[in-house]
Structure 1
Amino acid sequence: MVRRRYIPLRTAHPGMILDQAIIDRAGRVLIARRTPLEDFHIEGLRKMGVGGIYIREGEEDPDQEVEKEEQSLPAALQKTYDKVKVRDPARVKISESVRKRVAQGVQYLYQDTNSADFTNASRSITDDLLKAIEDNDAVAVDIGALQVSDEYTFKHSVDVATMAMIVARKYGLNDNQVYQIGIAGLLHDIGKSKIPNEILNKAGKLTDDEFTIMKMHSTYGYHILEPKKDISQEVKLGVLQHHEKMNGKGYPMQVTGEKIHLFSRIISVADIYDALVTERPYKKPFSPRAAVEMIMSMTEELDIKVMKCFMESVILYPVGSDVMLSTGEMARVVENLSYAVLRPKVLGLQNGKVYDLANDVKCANIIIL
């Protein structure tokens, strides 16, 4: 049985198996998950200021995948579950071969932004991601599962591109716009290739001066793309403005409202979500639920229609997953409601009662923990 354990870095020693990816601020994997630690790994982590790490202990359980499947219920309860469950909307699925190809492609883009093949490589990666959406006729994202893999570099850019395309579809953009926003999402952080490594890799909080330099990445990204005549202006604006806020408190230009390109407004929501839930050397990840709640609170900063489309495109609790209610009862999700991502319908596993958390006033004080 494999288990994950957090240890202070001072107690780490060679031979331990790392159970997390060590990722810098540009999304680059410095040490891959499941790497056997060596002295130079530990010394490098110490220099980065990492205080503790997750390690992997025990042996693989051959039945581990079976455990992830729905557990069978008593016959009467199973009958109720089968009767009331409603399948989730089609979700994005990316095959392992595509994940690997995409990750290698994004790494190539970041390593050589002046390559003559830069635009073709960007389009090829976006083609792969869009095909994954279209092959599944996907209209939703399981945001607890969407990752290229923490074994590969730059998962953040791919996650943002995929989410942005799904949200763009929900928003009503046409096929070409969805494709273009995929390219913009993929390249939104390309300017970080120009940020000094000592800032990108810093484990602790950035100083004001360092943060000022970090904020230049969106401008650098625009400057990288601006000479490339085969990349559209809307993609370039999407990259330049993805940190602008509706209330003018973003950067680099502090523009407001409709002056922020729609691509940027969509990418911003996906970027914020993925940044919140992704573990970094300098921060622990937020849970998907906490990240969604934080986005919901940003009504002055984010485009409300885009936020609504994001909420309607994500699945926090896939049908069939078991959750703990604030009443202390375990329940199984039977239906997700696009207008209430945090409050699905669930079936109580003790009493066989269906709780409509979104619409039944009797359930108003019940939440999923």
Structure 2
Amino acid sequence: MRRVSLKYLRPGMIIARPVYSGDGRLLLASGLSLTENYIKRLAELGIGSLYIEDQLFHGDLNIDDVVSEQTRIQSVKLVKEAFHSLEKEKYIDTWAVRKAVDDMADEIFSNKDILVNYFDIRTYDDYTFNHSVNVTILSILAGITLKYNRVQLRELAIGALLHDIGKVHLDKKILNKKGKLTAEEYKHIQQHSLYGFNTLRSYYEIPILSSIIAYQHHERLDGSGYPQCLKGEEIHEYSRVVMVADVFDALTSNRPYRKAYSVPHAIDIVKKLYPSLDDRSITAVFSNVAPVSYTHL
């Protein structure tokens, strides 16, 4: 099979891997033949590409996943529920969060020799939740590369999974604005780091270092980040790992205002951001990413 950008999809192509919604509902099954209506609906959902069958590969090219589809879906659902629960009930199920990161870590340990095939299929509306899970997977892999123990991996993973939880407290009109933000709006968006830190610190079950990730993931080594303009070693190593994973996943995601960058292009962009990003963390994150790109762009 091969991955094909939406603009190159044609009726009659056979879907090789199923497409799911953010809550785990099957949208399109593997083996299904594409139609014009299906392709149109994919565009409406913001899905930029599909895996299709290709006779050149004799239908036997399987892409291993470092985390199973079931675990990924359950993790995305958990992040969505955490956001919604915090917004409506002012509560986060911390036990469920710990279980989710432990499940991901267990699977990743079992498959740690598999490079991440960094092309999951997701919609614009589910971006925040899928993004949180992707950042967590990359961070756990980086933590293993950095020889973290299980306690450290859990601290890292909890912070990575909930690094954007502070967005719950932002004005949704500003958060979802498609056009350029004003200076005042951008300052409002920046508050999500502090909001996230304060939210996570209110739960004694959540390690302080996990909370610090929410606070520092937009800092940069050269002091150009926020909220405190910290530099170098002033930023905790967990935060430096998550900031790399966060930037990389954002670049490789389809957004309403731009298409996803290919993996090689995104890697180049991230490396050019050095010294604002941590070189050790860049190496740890990208050593686990397969250098693949679209068959058609």
| TM-score, normalised via structure 2 length | 0.76
- What CA deviation, in whole Å up to 9, does each residue of 1:133-181 have, x standing for no partner? 0232x14542433x37449831000000000010111112112111221
1:94 is aligned, of 67, 72, 80, to 67
| Matching residue's letter, 1:163 | L
Q: Using a 3 Å threshold, how does the CA distance of structure 1 residues 161 and 55 change in structure 2: closer, same or farther?
A: closer
Q: Is the 8 A contact 1:139 1:166 kept in 2?
A: no
Alpha-carbon shift at residue 104 of structure 1 (Å): 1.4
Q: Using a 3 Å threshold, how does the CA distance of structure 1 residues 123 and 204 change in structure 2: closer, same or farther?
A: same
Matched residue of 2:210: which SS? helix
Alpha-carbon shift at residue 203 of structure 1 (Å): 1.5
Q: Which moved more, 1:106-115 or 1:239-248?
A: 106-115
- Distance in 1, Cα, partners of 2:217 & 2:145: 19
- What CA deviation, in whole Å up to 9, does each residue of 1:294-335 have, x standing for no partner? 111122201111112223222113xxx9989xxxxxxxxxxx
Alpha-carbon shift at residue 96 of structure 1 (Å): 2.7
Q: Which runs of 5+ in 1 are unaligned?
A: 7-20, 46-52, 73-89, 325-368
Matched residue of 2:6: which SS? strand
2:85 is aligned, of 112, 115, 120, to 112
Q: Which residue is 1:288 aligned to? A: 263
Asked if 1:194 corresponds to 2:194, the answer is no
Q: Is the 8 A contact 2:262 2:294 kept in 1?
A: no
Matched residue of 1:221: which SS? helix
Q: Which residue is 2:283 aligned to? A: 308
Highest relative contact order (Cα 8 Å, sep 6+), 1 or 2? 2
Asked if 1:176 corresponds to 2:164, the answer is no
- Distance in 1, Cα, partners of 2:156 & 2:75: 16
Q: Which residue is 2:32 aligned to? A: none
Give the number of the structure whose residues are more often strand, by fraction. 1
Q: How does 1:13-24 map to 2 (within 5 A)?
A: none
- Distance in 1, Cα, partners of 2:210 & 2:48: 40
Q: CA RMSD in A?
A: 3.7
Q: Using a 3 Å threshold, how does the CA distance of structure 1 residues 195 and 298 change in structure 2: closer, same or farther?
A: same
Q: Is the 8 A contact 1:248 1:256 kept in 2?
A: yes
Greater Rg, structure 1 or structure 2?
1
Q: Which residue is 2:6 aligned to? A: 4
- Distance in 2, Cα, partners of 1:261 & 1:91: 32
Taking only the aligned residue pairs, the percentage that are identical comes to 29
Asked if 1:227 corresponds to 2:202, the answer is yes
Q: Which runs of 5+ in 2 are unaligned?
A: 9-18, 29-36
2:186 is aligned, of 198, 211, 216, to 211
- What CA deviation, in whole Å up to 9, does each residue of 1:29-88 have, x standing for no partner? 9xx977x79xxx9xxx9xxxxxxx7799xxx99xx435484689xxxxxxxxxxxxxxxx
| Matching residue's letter, 2:208 | Q
The number of residues matched between the two structures is: 263
2:116 is aligned, of 139, 142, 156, to 142
- Distance in 1, Cα, partners of 2:295 & 2:255: 27
